[in-house]
Amino acid sequence: MGGAYAAANLTGLSAEIYAENLRKNELFWLIEHRDLPVGFVRARPVDDLLYIAEICVARAHQGKGLGRRLLAHMRQYARENEFKGLAGLTWKFVPFNGPYYLHNGFEEWSLGEAGPDMRAIATSEDEQKLNAIGERMIFGERF
């Protein structure tokens, strides 16, 4: 990772980190095209919500609705499994982050609107490093 990430002293998520996250009972959905992965989402229960830890669509496949399909799948899964909504953290002003989630039915939440575990994530040391790159926001949707 370079640019602003380098200034924040962050490293990319390695295969080992992903494997460890999956062992921690995180949910993982993958979209494939011609047997190749082109998008994914990582999620886990936080408070009474399904927390979007990470969502990604390969650049060559963006703009085709795959992110919206991943979000729709997460909404359906959350409802079927009695979660009270979805939430996550992202950069507020990056077009394919904050504005993307707001365009797709989420609202920006204040720290006070989040549950205790979500507040802990939002104020964690890792999140503070990300805030050094650009303003972060909590986004959420309650059912």
pLDDT digits (tens, 9 = 90+) for 69-125: 999 999 999 999 999 999 999 999 998 899 999 999 999 999 999 999 999 999 999
pLDDT higher than threshold 60 for residue 6? no
Report d(CA 51, CA 120) in Å as an integer.
13
Phi, psi of 86 (to 5 degrees): -125, 150
43, 74, 39: which is closest to 56 by C-alpha?
39
Q: Could you tell me how far CA 130 lies from the centroid of its own chain?
A: 13
pLDDT higher than threshold 80 for residue 7? no
Q: Mean pLDDT, the chain, as a whole number? A: 87
Q: What is the mean pLDDT of residues 19-36?
A: 76
pLDDT on residue 17 = 66
pLDDT on residue 29 = 83
pLDDT on residue 5 = 41
pLDDT on residue 91 = 94
Count CB-CB contacts under 10 A for residue 58: 14
Say whether pTM exceeds 0.85. Answer: no
Report d(CA 28, CA 73) in Å as an integer.
11
Per-residue confidence at 18, pLDDT binned at 50, 70, 90? low
- Residue 25 vs residue 30, higher pLDDT: 30
